[in-house]
A and B are shown apart, each in its own frame.
Chain A
């Protein structure tokens, strides 16, 4: 009885349609895997292309905005030029001050502020020492440092 059952199982395992299904299954698995990789690749490539196009457009926008800024800055300078400001001041009833008409008040500790154009920029005449040693020392220097410190941090 037991031998018969073993034979049936053996016959079932060796049935030609079952072997074919196994091959078809492996092939389908390969196709599905390839399709998934292809889809993933397509998706990533499409996203990269969209991002690239956005970068191109952003760069174009930056250039346009820079042009616009330069134009506006020049227009503003024109509107606040010496000649224009003097004309407006005179029209408002002001007149140039004379030396004897000025009152001077001493304000202890007062330092005249620098213009905005200079305040906006970092002064590099002061040496910048904020770069951590990890970014400047070589591997040998790091080993040497660790050795001297005895492994303590």
Chain B
């Protein structure tokens, strides 16, 4: 009996040993077979997928925390061809909701290449459309109706500008390729966009922690004051209409640190509809005229000539000059703007009446070396270094250049034969408002990344003149504005500034009918807190700056003192005395 049980046990043991051996053998055989790699590949195909993760583009705020550029969710609507059950229903529904032609959608879905598994029907579809489409899909799914099976929605971000066209010349825009064009969007594209990363997303939940976290792009805070920007743009638009000007630009800058508070140019475009770009601009330099276009500024340039002359000791404010209405420089006769002789004038009178003859005399007295040496120190002919893309450098001809002639010393003195951008002028003149130190203009106030704030320090671009010269010029330009009873004045505030009416050079000499009118001014004179540059191109109501650009400056200055909470001079002196 015991023997019988022993045999049965042995048979069972042998059976299990053989079965085990067979299983192990089969496992080894499969793993070392030719199909092993195929099985492994099949397994790894479902173990996860590579995904390109595009970080959320950094936002852009104004200095008071108002959003200027943000992001909104849009959807890629597509169809998974393998899951598609009813192509006709899909074609009809997608065409109706997405506003497409049925034939086009049908071709996309039904005539897709055999190797395709997924077809994108339309991208950048708004959330409202997708929500209603998703509602319909859900209704059908709930009713176990598979007619719309296969439809897929992939969300992603699209740049959005809640202020539409506000500060468009400054901000630039982001196209569908995800790249920034012009302005801040282009200059700081790498920072804003962050680093797209291709990540492996495993299906295995145990590897969930392996998915790397992709940080968002850097958020930027600008020096721009949104409310002031809006007011300045409004004033610019009104001025173009009022004076019949073709185009214009206005910049407001804090001369103490170079922060751009407002920068307006025409034309502007709705950044949410950037396809209008080609209908508004002939070339990229027109996008932001404040930095992109260099022009002959005319008499506003006299401020720099006078600053150089006083700094070298060539003249003093009370130096007299007898204006005969003409002066010969390099064999060419230079005349005043009205061709009159203004008689004996001191240097304040020369600036007040904007006498070309007087300033040409000043530059010749100063000499070539001094004059061009100072103009170099003022940064003319070089970029200002502002953190915006598309900056033009202008042109300062100097002795030795093939197209420089001796008469240029005289004409350059009153802003003819030299080209600058409005921002270059603002930067150069900032030395007069800032104790002789010239500031580098900038629009970036701070960067925010991973909860940290990185402040952008102010930079100075040298001291072309002494503090004493700066104070003298400040007084001279303030006095000349008051004596002139200029339309640039603002009641309650002592301001300084200079007009500029410039003829426009053409291929055949200077345009006899049109001018560029400019005004550069700042205030309050005892403690300058803002500088304004106005440039209107070809005004038809008047060709004179004193009748066009000067009143525009006054309006901008009024809005600036309100926006920056600058009390009138009397109130400020009372506060200081307390």
Contacts and interface: CB of A to CB of B under 8 A. Distances in A.
Interface in A77-135: 77-78, 80-83, 86, 97-100, 102, 104, 106, 112, 115-118, 120-125
B63 A99 contact: no
A28 interface: no
Given A52-B205, A67-B157, A104-B571, A83 B163 contact: yes
- Interface majority SS on A: helix, strand, loop or mixed? helix
Interface of A: 45, 48-53, 55-56, 59, 66-68, 70-71, 73-74, 76-78, 80-83, 86, 97-100, 102, 104, 106, 112, 115-118, 120-125
B218 to A, nearest CB: 11
A124 B453 contact: yes
Given A74-B160, A102-B562, A121-B451, 8 more contacts: A50-B205, A55-B205, A55-B208, A77-B163, A78-B162, A115-B221, A118-B221, A122-B453
A70 B72 contact: yes
B562 A124 contact: no
Contacts of B561: 99
A82 B163 CA distance: 7
Contacts of B66: 77, 80
Contact of A121 (B162, B164, B452, B491): B452
Contact of A106 (B206, B453, B578): B578
Contacts of A55: 205, 208-209
Given A67-B157, A81-B162, A82-B226, A121 B70 contact: no
Contacts of B63: 115
B204 interface: yes
A106 B206 CA distance: 63
Contacts of A102: 562, 567
Interface residues of B, number: 51
Contacts of B207: 52
Contact of B61 (A68, A78, A98, A115): A115
Nearest to A104: B567
A100 B155 contact: no
A12 B84 CA distance: 78
Contact of A53 (B205, B454, B455, B558): B205
Contacts of A53: 205, 208
Interface string B151-175: 0000101001011101000000000
Contacts of A68: 73
Contacts of A123: 452-453, 455
Given A70-B71, A73-B70, A74-B72, A97 B562 contact: yes
B575 A74 contact: no
Contact of B162 (A56, A74, A86, A118): A74
A82 B157 contact: no
Given A83-B164, A122-B453, A117 B208 contact: no
A97 B237 CA distance: 20
Contacts of B65: 115-118
Contacts of A86: 230
Contact of B206 (A52, A66, A74, A78): A52
A125 B205 contact: no
B329 interface: no
Given A59-B211, A67-B73, A121-B452, A99 B205 contact: no
A50 B452 CA distance: 34
Nearest to B165: A83
A17 to B, nearest CB: 13
Given A99-B558, A123-B455, A81 B163 contact: yes
Most B-side CB within 10 Å, residue of A48, A81, A116 = A81
A112 B563 CA distance: 13
Contacts of B70: 70, 73-74, 77
A45 B204 CA distance: 12
Contacts of B482: none
Contacts of A73: 59, 67, 70
23 contacts: A50-B205, A52-B208, A56-B205, A59-B211, A67-B73, A70-B70, A73-B67, A73-B70, A74-B71, A74-B72, A77-B66, A81-B163, A83-B164, A97-B562, A99-B558, A99-B561, A100-B491, A102-B567, A106-B578, A118-B446, A121-B451, A123-B455, A124-B453
B64 interface: yes
Most B-side CB within 10 Å, residue of A51, A56, A74, A123 = A74
Contacts of B315: none
B205 A71 contact: no
A56 B227 CA distance: 44
